[in-house]
Homo-oligomer: A and B are copies of this chain.
């Protein structure tokens, strides 16, 4: 019988791919995680988790990259954040209804560990440092959504697109140049506008010399000006 999925390709103990959150675990707890996790590789474009499904596991992204988005009205999506390694993905469903409240799709080939939810919650109860760190992470994510709510509802398109790009440059890639993993559609979903509008705004940004987009990469040319556009909305 063929092995269609790899149950334990690597041991969590000593693993450098796990989210930093797990550095708070002792070896016994880490062993427990190791014994109750599944490791799966995804190809770019594949759906890692689908909104609405039962949350049997929490996720740790070891490598690759993914987009995390809410599927909204009539096929429209709102990207909440881009997930880079190494990141933990849980969400409000952990405590509320054991469901995933967003869909996660791989932007690059990605390696993801699925950790049993009950085991995760059990460790949360006994390891205070782990719980503190987790809650801090969770709260940071919530604040990101607050921020997104404000800028998506109170800024106009150029300001929204500027914020989306600044988010990518500053927080995700932390460089002035990065490969264009996101389609125009994705950028539209990140800044709450139509694809066509996203294209036009980006074209304007290029004309004004704010960024350069070519050969699947985007480069920040005039950071000052981009931040100004973000500010004046």
Contact = CB atoms under 8 A, between A and B. Distances in A.
Contact of A70 (B73, B74, B146): B146
A160 to B, nearest CB: 10
Contacts of A149: 70, 78, 145, 148-149, 152
Copies in the complex: 2
Contacts of A143: 92, 96, 101
A142 B132 CA distance: 18
A150 B95 contact: no
A132 B76 contact: no
Contacts of A145: 142, 145-146, 149
Given A152-B152, A152-B153, A138 B95 contact: yes
Given A70-B146, A78-B150, A153-B78, A125 B128 contact: yes
Contacts of A151: 73
Interface size of A as a range: 35 or more
Contacts of A128: 125
Nearest to A143: B92
Contact of A150 (B70, B93, B125): B70
Given A92-B143, A92-B146, 20 more contacts: A72-B150, A72-B153, A73-B151, A73-B233, A78-B153, A92-B138, A92-B139, A92-B140, A95-B132, A95-B136, A95-B138, A95-B139, A96-B136, A96-B140, A96-B143, A101-B143, A102-B146, A125-B128, A145-B149, A153-B192
